[in-house]
Copies of this chain bind each other. A is one copy, B any other.
Amino acid sequence: MEGDFMDIFTAIKERRSVRSYKSTPVEKEKLDRIVEAARLAPSACNFQEWRFVLVTDTLKRQALMEAANNQSFVAEAPVVIACCAETDEHRMRCGELCYPIDISIAIDHMTLAAVALGLGTCWIGSFYPEKVRKILNIPESIKVVELLTLGYPADSPQSKNRKPLKEIVFYEEWK
């Protein structure tokens, strides 16, 4: 199957935010591999607080688009994944909440797996959680952390704009 041989460095380089999608559905086998990549993610104390709602229904995706600040590609993508946390909001000793970190690792795995399967994704933080909860019947106690669109890209890659390493990496101490 396509995707077994994309190396990790290529996947990292080629991953990009895809904001235009073909209407082609995503094959069930590919979806399964993508959520399996999420399932294998590490989490603080192995609590595995991540929960994913995979949405392909046209009316629901339309409603999610409206909940996501009317970003049209949210309805265009054949799959939207509501990335949630079932959590008591515990923190690590360093002071950070566990769930945003743990959900992000699992989502990152999905975005990289998607690239290897010829698919594109986009992280979406611009949405109203209460609206998403209502559309997808998600309990009040569950955090909706991110939405992720998924599908075959209809746009073209652009080069990544990133800071040079010397601005983000320091050796032995902060400089």
Contacts and interface: CB of A to CB of B under 8 A. Distances in A.
A146 to B, nearest CB: 7
A136 interface: yes
B4 A7 contact: yes
The SS class assigned to the A binding surface is mixed
Nearest to A45: B125
Contact of A8 (B11, B16, B163, B165): B11
A115 interface: yes
Interface string A107-149: 1110111011000000101111100000011110010111000
Contacts of A161: 46
B112 A125 contact: no
Copies in the complex: 2
Nearest to A86: B168
Interface in A1-45: 3-9, 11-13, 15-17, 32-33, 35-42, 44
29 contacts: A5-B5, A7-B8, A8-B11, A8-B113, A12-B109, A12-B113, A13-B40, A35-B165, A39-B169, A41-B108, A44-B123, A48-B163, A48-B168, A50-B168, A51-B168, A53-B170, A53-B172, A53-B174, A93-B126, A94-B125, A94-B127, A94-B145, A101-B101, A101-B146, A104-B104, A108-B109, A136-B172, A137-B174, A139-B174
Given A48-B162, A93-B126, A112-B112, 13 more contacts: A3-B8, A4-B7, A6-B8, A9-B113, A38-B168, A44-B125, A53-B173, A54-B171, A94-B145, A101-B125, A104-B104, A137-B173, A138-B174
